[in-house]
Structure 1
Amino acid sequence: MLEFATISQCLTYDDKEDDLMNASLKNGAISLTRQLNNYREYQNEVVSMVGRAKANDIFSGAIHLLSAGTSDFIQNYYINPLLRVYSPDQFSDILMISYSTFIQNLYGLGVRRIGVISLPPTGCLPAAITLFGLGRNQCIPRLNQDAISFNNKLNNTSQILKSRLPGLKLVVFDIFQPVLDMITNPGDNGFFESRRACCGTGRLETSKLCNSRSVGTCTNATGYVFWDGFHPSEAANEVLAGNILQQGFDLIS
C-alpha cells in the first residue's frame, strides 16, 4: 500500500520533450494524444488493482505536473519556416488551444490537481544563444519577450479553466524569473557559469549527446546553471524546486 500512497501524493507525467503541438514531434517526443491514451491505460491498471472508488481518490488527489512550451518555440517555431506565417503571439494562441484542451481532457479523467511549469527565459538558454544570437554571447531579448507573452497567456488561460471547471486546482509555476536571476547573478546562488552549459561544448548539445563521457563535459556541474543547451543543472533545479514549493501550496491544501 505504500506504493499507492506515494502515487496519491504526486503523479508526474512527462515525455521526452515538452511539445504542446502534436504536429511538432521529433526526437522521439510523445504526442499529447498518445500521452492521454497512455494515462487512460495506466488508470485502468490502477482500477484493476485497487477498485474504482479507491482509484478515483488517487487520481483526484494526485498532483499532476506538466511542463510545456520550450521545445515548441526553440526546436519548432523558430526553425520551422512553415510556422513562421504566424507571429509569436499567434503561435502562442495556437498553443493555448492545445493546452486548454489537454487540461480539460485530464479533468474529464478525474484529475483535479495540476501544476504547470511556465517557460523559462528562452532567449538565455545556451542553445538559443548559439542558434539565434548572431555570434553574441548574450541573452536574446525578443525570445525572452516571446516567453513573457506566452507565460501571460498561460496564466490567463489557466484562470479561465479554473473558473469553468469546478474543483480544479491549477497552479502555474513561474520559473522565468528564478532562472533569469540565476543567469544574471549566478554568484548569488553559488554558481560561477551561466552562459556555457556543463555538457560538451556547452553551446548546443542535449539529450543523448550529454553524459559524463561526452568530450568537454565539465567535472564540477554544481557550479553551472545549465547542464546542457536547454536544461538546468541538478544544482539549478534544486534552487527552482524551492521556488516551486513556495508557489504550490494551493495544490496541497
Structure 2
Amino acid sequence: MGCLCSLLLPGFLFLISVLHDVVDGQPLVPAMFIFGDSVVDVGNNNHLLTLVKSNFPPYGRDFVNHNPTGRFCNGKLASDFTAENLGFASYQPAYLSGEATGKNLLIGANFASAGSGYYEATAKLFNAISLSQQVEYYKEYQNKVVGIGGKVNTTSIISDAIYLVSAGSSDFVQNYYVNPLVNKVYTIDQFSNILMQSYANFIQNLYALGARRIGVTTLPPLGCLPAAITLFGLGDNECVAKLNVDAVSFNNKLNVTSQNLQTKMPGLKLVVFDIYQFLYNLVMNPADNGFAEKRRGCCGTGLLETSILCNAKSISTCANASQYVFWDGFHPSEAANRILADDLLSSGISLIF
C-alpha cells in the first residue's frame, strides 16, 4: 500500500498554487463553517459546564505557542489544516469564544461541541451543544454578520462558503454501545436509521439557511479506536470487527441519504468524505505513512484516556506524537490530521469549484 499523501496529486497542488496567485492570496472560498463533535471542536466546550473538555495540558502541546485551546489533539485538527489549505490566514473561531466577534466572523465560525452527535440525547448526556442548537447559533451568527457586513455581503458569504460536518462517533461509542436505555430499545440498524433522519433534517435546515456547499465525514473505523479496542475488544489488541461492520453499514446509509438529499435540493453540492478507509489504511499500514504506533494513543497509557483522563499528570505520555496515529483514546494525532486534511482537499475539489 502506497503512502496516502500521494492521493493529493502534484498537479492538483500546482492548480491550488496558481489559483492563490490569481486571487492575490485571498482564500478560495469566503468562509468556512464547522459543525459536529470533538473531532472538530476548537474550544466551544471550554465555555460549557461539562467534563468533556481539553483546554489543559498535554492537549495543545504541539499547537501554536504550545497552547491548549480546547482542541482534542496535540496540535492542529484536520479542519485547521483544511482552513490553511483553502488559504485562510487564521482559523474560524469557536462561536462561544471571545474571538467570535466583529470582523473575525467574516471568515466563518466553528459551532462544534465535543460529545455532540446526530442523536439529540447524546449531547444531553455530556451537556454538549446539540446539532439543533448549533444550527440556532448559526442563525444567530447570520444576524450578527448582517450587522457587520451588510445583507448583500452576508448572502454571498453564506452561499459561497464551505460547510463541514463531523458527527456520529459519540452516538455509538459514548452512547449506544454503553447505554442500555438505548441499545435495549433499538437494534443497531434501527438506531442508524434514527441518526439518518436527524442527519437529513440537519442538512435540510442548513440548506434552508443558505448553505450550498456541504462536506460531511463518514464514521471512522470505530473498532480501531484505541479506547474502543480496550472497552470492547475482549482482551484482543486488534480492531473490533463488529464495530467496524456497524460503521460501514452507517456509512453506506449516509451515502444513500446524501445522494437523495442532493437530488431533492437544487444547487446543493453535498460531498461525503470517506475518512473510514483513510484511517483504516493508516491503522493497517502505519509504517507506510511514517507512523510507528497504531494501537495506543500518545497520551497516558494510550489505551483509554481522553478529555480529563488525558492530563498533565498522565503517566507514560509519549515524547513524539508524530509517531502515533492517535493522540488519545479517541482522536487522531496532528500528524494523522495533516494527511487526512490533504485527502479531504483532493476529494472535496467539487465543493471549491
TM-score computed with the length of structure 2 as normaliser: 0.68
Q: Which residue of 2 aligns with 1:39?
A: 138
Structure 2 counterpart of 1:219, which letter? Answer: A
Distance (Å, rounded) in 1 between the aligned partners of 2:179 and 2:29: 39
**1:11 corresponds to which residue?**
33
Q: CA deviation at 1:17?
A: 2.9
Segments of 4+ moved more than 3 angstroms: 4-7
Q: Report what 2:156 is aligned to.
A: 57
What is the count of residue pairs matched by the alignment? 251
- SS of 2:178's equivalent in the other structure is coil
- Per the alignment, residue 162 of structure 1 pairs with 262
Residues 116, 131 of structure 2: 8 Å contact kept: no
In structure 2, the CA distance between the partners of 1:5 and 1:240, relative to structure 1 (3 Å rule), is closer
* Change in CA separation of 1:27 and 1:216 when aligned onto 2, cut-off 3 Å: farther
Q: What residue is the counterpart of 1:141 in the other structure?
A: 241
User: What residue identity is the alignment partner of 2:161?
Assistant: A
2:128 paired residue among 14, 29, 36: 29
2:281 equivalent to 1:181: yes
Aligned-residue offset at 1:7: 7.6
C-alpha contact 1:18 1:67 (8 A) present in aligned 2: no
Structure 2: gaps spanning 5 or more residues? 1-25, 36-111
Question: Deviations 1:39-87 (Å, cap 9, x if unpaired)?
Answer: 1111100011111111011011110100011000000000111211222
**Over residues 25-52 of structure 1, what are the superposed CA-to-partner deviations in whole Å (9 max), with x where a residue is unaligned?**
2334211221111111111000111111
The amino acid across from 1:75 in the alignment is Q
- Does structure 2 retain, via aligned residues, the 8 Å contact 1:16–1:28? no
**Percent of aligned positions with the same letter in both sequences?**
58
How far 1:213 moved relative to its partner? 4.9
1:5 Cα deviation from its structure 2 partner: 6.4
CA distance in 2: counterparts of 1:48 and 1:172, whole angstroms: 33
Paired residue for 2:199?
Answer: 99
**Structure 1: segments with no counterpart, 5+ residues:** none
Listed one character per residue, the Cα deviations across residues 82-140 of structure 1 (whole Å, up to 9, x for unaligned) are 21122211111000000000000011111111110111100010010111111111111
DSSP-derived class of the 1:119 partner: coil
Paired with 2:276 and 2:170, the residues of 1 have a C-alpha distance of 15
- Give the Cα separation in 1 of the matches to 2:131 and 2:34: 14
Match of 2:95 in 1: none
Structural RMSD (CA): 1.7
Q: Deviations over 1:156-197 (max 9, x none)?
A: 000000001111111010011110111011100000000011
SS of alignment partner, residue 134 of structure 1: coil
- Please name the residue that 2:292 is paired with: 192
Alignment match, 2:178: 79
Q: Return the letter of the residue paired with 2:314.
A: S
The one-letter amino acid paired with 1:92 is S
